[in-house]
Amino acid sequence: MDSLYLIIFFILGIVFGGFYTVLGGRLAEEDYHFFPYRCNHCKHRLSILESIPLISYFVLRRKCRYCGKKIDAMEPLMELFTGILFAVAYFSFGFSYEFLIALGIISLLIIVTVSDLNYLIIPDEVLVFFILYFVIIQFFSLGAFGVVEHILTGIFLFVLMYVIMWLGEKLLKKESLGGGDVKMMFLFGLVLDPLLGTVAIFLGSLFALPMSLFLLYKNHEKVIPFGPFLLLALTFLYFTKITPDILVQWIGL
């Protein structure tokens, strides 16, 4: 039965991954017409068969049948990645509140990756939705007191990230972080405790460093989307089930 559920959630992940890819781009463009799917180049409406996640990319031979433009390889990769993560989430947490939180983290990761990589935007609509989502899940899981604790943690992480942004702007004399990155840290507090939330900022910076150096060397690009790397750190910390006690033991405090 577990194998069947793994397959089911893998397929669901692929389907949702296709939707999240569209959602991230449309919200960044302030286009709220998500259906039907259409070509990003010629805007031609796609049929149901042309909208099948992952499979349609290969059936269409990696290009739009109407305008002939190549389909961005990021789309099927994000669909596959989402499918894998959905299956891993079920394998790690089973049917539980933690599983629901994991699905929310995955969804947020995919949507923000698409919007931030392509447009350097983290849509407020996405943050508001997932704040409400996590608050509701934590309420049923931890009760009202647990939710209040997480909200306070979110405020702490928001203030911490704001201070980091302020210091960066003072030292570099230019914008160092986007407002979406700062606001997103409140959401981290709804999932992590203060120590792990702080570690997520540090870990996200480590994840972003190789990409930053590569883009700086190749394109002299100095603006790097930080949101996806922060969310990769959040995903890593949550899925590995690292606790503050384990972290303190590693640090040796």
Please check whether residue 109 lies inside any domain of the structure. Answer: no
State the CB neighbour count (10 A cutoff) for residue 201.
18
Residue 115 lies in a domain: no
Are 168 and 250 found together in one domain? yes
Q: 58-79 b/e with 16+ CB inside 10 Å = b?
A: eeeeeebeeeeeebbeebbebb
Structural domain count, the chain: 2
Q: What is the dihedral of CA 196, 13, 63, 29, to 10 degrees?
A: -60
Q: Which of 38, 61, 95 is the last residue of a domain?
A: 95
Asked, for residue 112, whether it belongs to a domain, the answer is: no
Tokens of residue 78, six digits: 């994000």
| Domain shared by 137 and 195, yes or no | yes
DSSP, residue by residue, 169-212: HHHHSS--S-HHHHHHHHHHHTTS-HHHHHHHHHHHHHHHHHHH
- Give residue 23's domain range: 1-95
Question: How would you write the pLDDT of the chain (253 residues) with one tens digit per residue?
Answer: 688 999 999 999 999 998 898 888 888 877 656 565 665 656 656 656 556 666 666 666 666 666 766 766 788 889 999 999 999 999 999 999 999 999 999 999 999 999 998 888 899 999 999 999 999 999 999 999 999 999 999 999 999 999 998 888 778 777 667 788 999 999 999 999 999 999 999 999 898 888 777 666 655 556 678 889 999 999 999 999 888 777 777 766 5
Q: Are residues 37 and 136 in the same domain?
A: no
Does some domain include residue 105? Answer: no
Q: Which of 95, 128, 145 is the last residue in one of the domains?
A: 95
202 occurs within a structural domain: yes
220 within domain boundaries: yes
In a domain, 113, yes or no: no
Residues 63 and 23 in one domain: yes
Read off the pTM. 0.89
CA 187 to chain centre: 12
